[in-house]
Structures are given as C-alpha cells and as structure tokens.
Amino acid sequence: MERRSFLKGFGAAAACAMALPHVSSAAEEKKSGGPNEMNFETAVAAITGGKALVASAKVKMEAPEIAENGAVVPVKVSVESPMNAKDYVKAIHILASKNGNVRCANIYLTPANGEAFFGTRVKLGGTQDVVAIAEMSDGSFLTAKQNVKVTIGGCG
C-alpha cells in the first residue's frame, strides 16, 4: 500500500515537472510578441548607430518611483540646452526597457521649441527602467533613466 501511494505521488510529481517547462514557455510567449516587438539593445543601437551613450545630469527625467497603475505612467523629460541654431537637442527618445516593444516615442525637435521638453503618459508592462536618450546637434547621445515599480501591469 505504501509503495503504491509513493509511486502515485512520484508519478504526479513527475507529471508536474514535465508540465512546468511547458507552462513557463507559454507564459513567455504571452509576455513577448506584439506587432513591433523590439528589445532594448536593438532599439538603442538603432537610435545611436553604435555611438556611446553618456549618462548626463543635463537630461532630467520625471517619473514616479512607484506607479500603482502601469497603464498610465506620467513621464516628463527635459534637456538643458540653449536651443539655438548651432546648439540644440535634435531628438528625445523614450524607451521602456522591458516592454515587448521598448520604443515609446521619438521626438524630433527644432530650435523653434525654445526648450527641449517632452511630456507624455506611457504603459508599462511591469517594474522596469524608463530610459530617455537625447540626441544633441553635435552628434553626441546623453541619457538618463528612472526605475519605476509597477504594482499592476498596463498590458492586457
């Protein structure tokens, strides 16, 4: 009797172990995907063309440290710059490092903006870094990031 129940239990455990990898891969499949799926490294490489990113205090990002609702996370980015014809911020890129498609927005600015600023609300699938990349008119790339803890995910 004991042997039988042991075998039964073992069999169930083995079935569980076999089923587990399947379950986890299904969960991964659900996480990834989306029509414009792109990971962080690819997206950064596409923006910078292989140039180095420099973390800079000139780029200021305002985002909450804890977001209760991942569906609406306010993000504001401003970049210190005189914004004249010779020295201005060409573009601000906002990336959510762990979303299926990490790209959120590319903003192409001109000196007519007066200040390099962009504010929006993004969806975050989970706790992750929100990254801003500023493309300067001299061809350099400055960056800043903020970790946002998400209590309820914003996708699905």
> If binding is defined by CB under 8 A, does position 49 make contact with another protein?
no
Report the residue from 34, 42, 66, 152 that binds another protein according to the rule CB under 8 A: 34
The contact mask relative to another protein for 117-146 (x = CB under 8 A, - = no) is: xxxxxxx-----------------------
**C-beta of 3: minimal distance to another protein in Å?**
44
**C-beta of 102: minimal distance to another protein in Å?**
8
The burial class, CB within 10 Å (0-12 / 13-18 / 19+), for 65 is exposed
What is the residue whose two structure tokens read 């172990």?
17
The burial class, CB within 10 Å (0-12 / 13-18 / 19+), for 146 is middle
**C-beta of 98: minimal distance to another protein in Å?**
11
Is residue 138 a contact partner of residue 86, using CB atoms and an 8 Å limit?
no
> If binding is defined by CB under 8 A, does position 59 make contact with another protein?
no
Would strands 53-55 and 141-152 be described as parallel, antiparallel, or unpaired? Answer: parallel
Q: Which residues bind another protein (CB under 8 A)?
A: 33-36, 71-73, 76, 83, 96, 99-110, 112-123, 154-156
